[in-house]
Amino acid sequence: MKATQLLNNLGQSIWLDNITRDLLNTGTLKKYIEDLSVKGLTSNPTIFNQAIRNSSAYDADIRKKLKEGKKVEQLFFELALDDITRAADIFMPIYEKTNTVDGWVSLEVSPLLAYDTNSTLKAARDLCVRANRPNLFIKIPGTKEGLPAIEEAIFAGIPVNVTLLFSREDYLASAEAFLRGIERRLDEGLNPSVGSVGSVFISRWDGAVAGKVPENLKNKLGIALAQRTYKAARELLISPRWQRVYNAGAKPQRLLWASTGTKDPQVSEILYIKALAAPFTVNTMPEATLIALSKHNEMGSIMEADGGDCEDVLKQFASAGIDIDELGVRLQDEGAKSFVKSWNELMEVIESKSISLK
């Protein structure tokens, strides 16, 4: 049995961290769903940048939209919504079969709105209306500035994929924003069932300390912090406050592992996949990692609910001079800036294509 199926049997959902028009047109996405147990999909500006830059599949649409007088950002969201809604339709049977647990696709609001709650909420509403698909997550960064927008979006009934989480503290802050939104819905007599995932980035931790720690700690920081976060998430799920909203009809916010492709060529391509195997979580993986996983036929043990030895490992990093709290703040800040950079590059790619296609 493929390791992808074993992971599915364990109770962890596999999502694909990629979308291109070629994946849709060639039937590859459907094949991944049928053969590799893929149950959802995430996207971001970098993914769309590479998709549009490296394919001619968008050229005809770009020409058409240019003739209609569409501006660059407007043009992009129309292209993205075309892809995302097609993917949402492909995943709809899974969404219905799992009673909305899986079958989700994710689309990000412009990262240029990150410091503007009202504009973020307006953009999220607009994308939801235009997509007109119940299985669409709107991605909003879980930064300090993004937390109010997350709460307001959940209160408005907009499903949210909270992105750019790195530490346990980031995750807990985003979960609190989600819960406040749900509790406000209950207070207003509204349906409390609004979908959400909290996306915790893993591999960037190890990239940040590469060459700065002893060999025995190599590629262990991201996993240890994931274990710490998983313990906190499990404790939230059984807390009285959260169980109150479940009893009223709310669904839990699931933990999602992101950035799970291995950056170090000297270790297994599925290092993080095996280490992060845990029920009632999601692992959104790059296409190359998904394919690598499908070539294996065993998974190993699941994550320990109590965090295992994560605190001992993290103490070793502290002894090696790594300030984890400071690094977490820096990684989130760098991640937010990276999203803006990718967004600007995406706009430049579309502008460049527009000029050449004219």
DSSP letter (8 states) at residue 316? H
| pLDDT reported for residue 55 | 85
Residues serving a catalytic function are 139
Cα–Cα distance for residue pair 69/89, rounded to 1 Å: 28
- Which phi and psi angles does 277 have, rounded to 5°? -70, 115
DSSP letter (8 states) at residue 303? P
Cβ(277)–Cβ(12) below 8 Å: yes
Tell me the pLDDT tens digit for each residue of 129-163: 999 999 999 999 999 999 999 999 999 999 999 99
CATH code for position 154: 3.20.20.70
Cβ(221)–Cβ(209) below 8 Å: yes
| pLDDT reported for residue 71 | 87
- Which phi and psi angles does 343 have, rounded to 5°? -60, -45
What ranges in 54-167 are assigned the alpha helix state H? Answer: 59-67, 72-97, 117-131, 147-155
| pLDDT reported for residue 176 | 98
| pLDDT reported for residue 354 | 80
Give the count of domains, the chain: 1
| pLDDT reported for residue 66 | 82
- Whether the model clears a pTM of 0.85, i.e. scores above it, the answer is yes
Cβ(249)–Cβ(192) below 8 Å: yes
pLDDT band at 105 (very low <50, low <70, confident <90, very high): very high
Which domain does 68 fall in, by range?
3-357
pLDDT band at 309 (very low <50, low <70, confident <90, very high): very high
Percent pLDDT > 70 in the chain is: 100
pLDDT (average), residues 339-350: 92
Separation of CA 255 from chain center: 10
